[in-house]
Chain A
Amino acid sequence: MVTTPVLLLLTTVVTIRPFADSSLHSSMAASAVVRRLSSAPLHDHRLLRPFSTTGSESTITVETSVPFTGHKIDPPSRSVETTPFELLSFFRDMSLMRRMEIAADSLYKSKLIRGFCHLYDGQESIAIGLEAAITKKDAIITAYRDHCIYLGRGGTLVESFAELMGRRAGCSKGKGGSMHFYKKESGFFGGHGIVGAQVPLGCGLAFAQKYLKEGTVSFALYGDGAANQGQLFEALNISALWDLPAILVCENNHYGMGTAEWRSSKSPAYYKRGDYVPGLKVDGMDVLAVKQASKFAKEYALKNGPIILEMDTYRYHGHSMSDPGSTYRTRDEISGVRQERDPIERIRKLLLSHEIATVSDLKDIEKEVRKEVEEAIAQAKENLMPDPSELFTNVYVKGFGVEVSGNASDVSFGADRKEVKAILP
């Protein structure tokens, strides 16, 4: 009911222990949870991975905002089971993502981030809901709006900001940029700039999972703009033919760059586009609906082959930082969605109505998250640009040709741009 004072929370350092051995009353449990969440060491800017089952803690059943709509499949139930811990972690993680994207916005405006920067705010629930249903062994691949999915897969804030600013501590050593975040250890395969090209790659990941008999699935995320790419249908055909555990997730934010959905697609029911492949339409702004649909899709794909999930979502920013986002839609529309469907607000209301946390608790979490992001940016800013020799590394594996080795007679160009003449006997 009443949680412990806020100040005490912030100064306590508690190591994170498995929750299963707690036998506290649910509100005390919730306070312990809040304490644990706020006191994660500040240098560890890692996203907490929500656990779907936490032993003795009480479960809460929530109904999703709208029922699921199925295409050639029976949709799952509207009732989703969750726990207070999970809801709090959703809140914290989504706030972290939101704060990161807003910080990236201001970094871009101060010219620390250059080139293309595609922001994900408004769509965080998809990243978080997906993570809640799967493991790190499952694979996710997405297009260029990848910052938050990277965080969800276990990336750190410092690595993200460093990569955005082109520093050597970035996840791709500063050589990829905003559109090329990858994390191999946790099954995050990027991070791709060309619209739609990641979908055949995603089906290839599913093929490898089937080949190696791993019992895992691949999620290939794409947008409503990419849904009209031919290679998507080619890949879907092959996946259905070979029963690959591929889940195609269409993050439908209703605008493909500057073109509205109804102007680019004859059939905007993207979940039906698979025709012979079943599909599910999900409210993408409801994190619990996303979680339910992802769990359902994973079970389906492991047995039967591909399935399409259409996530109905919205992005508050424009397509990228070079797009104001208001020339093709009205500000009223944007603020309307923000008021009615914002994923973080929805979780906030749930937490408050189930009395898992108070308004001030949540405000504290947001403050803490903000601080975390600022610290990460400061740390990333101090990081150096990549060394000039990095221009030539990682072009080839076990390099030759462009990489300078000790043996100068093997190469024709050195990293210092001086031609190394082939030395002949």
Chain B
Amino acid sequence: MAASLQSAVFLSNRIDPHRRLFASPARSLPGTKGSILVVRSDGRISGRLSGRNLITNAVAVECCFTKADTPTSSTDSKPGHELLLFEALREGLEEEMDRDPRVCVMGEDVGHYGGSYKVTKGLAPKYGDLRVLDTPIAENSFTGMGIGAAMTGLRPVIEGMNMGFLLLAYNQISNNCGMLHYTSGGQFKIPVVIRGPGGVGRQLGAEHSQRLESYFQSIPGLQMVACSTPYNAKGLMKAAIRSDNPVVLFEHVLLYNLKERIPDEEYVLCLEEAEMVRPGEHVTILTYSRMRYHVMQAAKTLVNKGYDPEVIDIRSLKPFDLYTIGNSVKKTHRVLIVEECMRTGGIGSSLRAAIIDNFWDYLDAPIMCLSSQDVPTPYAGTLEEWTVVQPAQIVAAVEQLCQ
């Protein structure tokens, strides 16, 4: 008890009241994902976000340490609550809508139906039709409307029922959302969040299995994040809503039913930060969204074979967290990128270029990039399986890298 209070004091000393407090998973405790709140170990706050001071989180940190926090304790005394990823998204959304009356949600079937993936279930009865808006099937215009509303100070959360439908709104997202802050000389800010499920699902067909990260990544002015666990889904959703920049939050169709225990206390994650999933020594594996789970599956096999992979979930697709990635490359000297994007012009290719530009001297081997095949996703199950990267391929790639 004394020890944990001491660490609480240590951490609260680290909390500079003039800097914003961020929570991130503990770097050196891979097993206790999501059960504690910590300030980043080097005290660094990324970005120049100034001003707002989440003092309540500081109190929460101390509360957290006074609870019994050992893995062997029973479920009742474990801090936090268990929920599924879509519920975590909804929790984040609801907390932000409670906190700021300017937050509204618009999308197809988000209101009375409750959301096609139940992310907005229960919000319409609670907040009314003006804050949870059922739109007609008109992505171009309701995305434009969300952006127009954001120009005046509202903070809309625009949902695309499937990320692929947002291609219809590409003009609005690229020209108006991304560029207005610049072309108006800083007069307007567009604090929208554009979110929706994407990625390859279970035999959904080519048009409903699109990965739009690669199309949006060169839009200047846009920020992109991809969530992968309930913990980071809620944190990123909150951070995205609070951010004054337009943020595209990529969710994955197959990850909505992931269950995890997340803290009861309020927490907001840093949008530009990557997550250390598993520290290691031999090779850095960079991944995001669903591929994180394929990588972790492969990691089990790799550990059995004697390798020690370091797995980083990059989370922030634009801009990349080159700080975390660089530190990892400096340690391991080998990089493998595993992504669900297409090979051509995907996130992996940009990441590869960024690593080569910045960390060339630290590399002992060429960077390998495993991405989906450059084909429209087929319907047949076996073919679809081979479109995306499978754990066996990851294992083979690591073995090749580490020769």
Q: Which residues of A are interface residues toward B (Cβ below 8 A)?
A: 139, 141, 170-177, 180, 182-184, 189-194, 197, 199-205, 207-212, 230-231, 234-235, 237-238, 241-242, 393-402, 405, 409-410, 412, 419, 421-422, 424-425
Report the minimum CB–CB distance from A25 to chain B (whole Å): 46
Please list 6 pairs of residues, one from A and one from B, whose beta carbons are closer than 8 Å in the complex, sorted by A's number: A171-B185, A172-B183, A176-B184, A200-B144, A241-B136, A412-B357
In this assembly, does B1 line the interface, its C-beta being within 8 Å of a C-beta of chain A?
A: no
Whether A182 touches B184, Cβ cut-off 8 Å, given contacts A398-B244, A412-B322, A422-B323, is yes
For B143, list chain A residues within 8 Å (CB): 200
Nearest CB in chain B to that of A174: its residue: B185
Whether A405 touches B48, Cβ cut-off 8 Å, given contacts A189-B151, A204-B148, A211-B130, is yes
For A425, list chain B residues within 8 Å (CB): 42, 327
From B62-70, B171-179, B284-292, B302-310, give the one contacting chain A. Answer: B171-179
Is B358 within 8 A of A412, CB to CB?
Answer: yes
Interface size class of B (residues with CB under 8 A): 35 or more
The CA-CA distance from A425 to B327 in the complex, in Å, is 8
Interface centre among A201, A398, A419 (most CB of B within 10 A): A201
In this assembly, does B46 line the interface, its C-beta being within 8 Å of a C-beta of chain A?
A: yes
For B202, list chain A residues within 8 Å (CB): none
CB < 8 Å: which of B46, B136, B154, B330 contacts A237? B136
Report the minimum CB–CB distance from B124 to chain A (whole Å): 14
In this assembly, does B228 line the interface, its C-beta being within 8 Å of a C-beta of chain A?
A: no
For B243, list chain A residues within 8 Å (CB): 397
Report the minimum CB–CB distance from B64 to chain A (whole Å): 28
In this assembly, does B297 line the interface, its C-beta being within 8 Å of a C-beta of chain A?
A: no
Is B326 within 8 A of A424, CB to CB?
Answer: yes
Is A184 within 8 A of B184, CB to CB?
Answer: yes
Is B188 within 8 A of A184, CB to CB?
Answer: yes
The CA-CA distance from A202 to B189 in the complex, in Å, is 16
In this assembly, does B74 line the interface, its C-beta being within 8 Å of a C-beta of chain A?
A: no
In this assembly, does B47 line the interface, its C-beta being within 8 Å of a C-beta of chain A?
A: yes
In this assembly, does B138 line the interface, its C-beta being within 8 Å of a C-beta of chain A?
A: yes
Is B48 within 8 A of A231, CB to CB?
Answer: no
Is B141 within 8 A of A238, CB to CB?
Answer: yes
Whether A207 touches B145, Cβ cut-off 8 Å, given contacts A237-B138, A398-B49, A398-B50, is yes
Is B184 within 8 A of A200, CB to CB?
Answer: no
Given contacts A170-B185, A190-B183, 17 further A-B contacts (CB under 8 A): A139-B152, A180-B183, A200-B145, A204-B148, A204-B150, A205-B148, A238-B142, A242-B133, A398-B47, A398-B49, A398-B245, A401-B272, A410-B46, A410-B323, A421-B358, A422-B326, A424-B326
Q: What 0/1 pattern do residues 105 to 140 of B give for CB contact below 8 A with A? A: 000000000000000000000000011010110101
Is A184 within 8 A of B187, CB to CB?
Answer: yes
Report the minimum CB–CB distance from B144 to chain A (whole Å): 3
Report the minimum CB–CB distance from A311 to chain B (whole Å): 22
CB < 8 Å: which of A171, A395, A405, A419 contacts B182? A395
In this assembly, does B372 line the interface, its C-beta being within 8 Å of a C-beta of chain A?
A: no
Interface centre among A170, A189, A199, A401 (most CB of B within 10 A): A401
The CA-CA distance from A393 to B220 in the complex, in Å, is 12
Report the minimum CB–CB distance from B24 to chain A (whole Å): 16
In this assembly, does B80 line the interface, its C-beta being within 8 Å of a C-beta of chain A?
A: no
Is A400 within 8 A of B188, CB to CB?
Answer: no
Whether A191 touches B183, Cβ cut-off 8 Å, given contacts A197-B172, A235-B141, A397-B245, is yes
Report the minimum CB–CB distance from B189 to chain A (whole Å): 5
Is A419 within 8 A of B358, CB to CB?
Answer: yes
The CA-CA distance from A180 to B183 in the complex, in Å, is 6
In this assembly, does B294 line the interface, its C-beta being within 8 Å of a C-beta of chain A?
A: no
CB < 8 Å: which of A141, A182, A400 contacts B148? A141
In this assembly, does B210 line the interface, its C-beta being within 8 Å of a C-beta of chain A?
A: no
Is A197 within 8 A of B185, CB to CB?
Answer: no
Nearest CB in chain A to that of B354: its residue: A412
CB < 8 Å: which of B46, B135, B171, B187 contacts A182? B187
For B130, list chain A residues within 8 Å (CB): 210-211
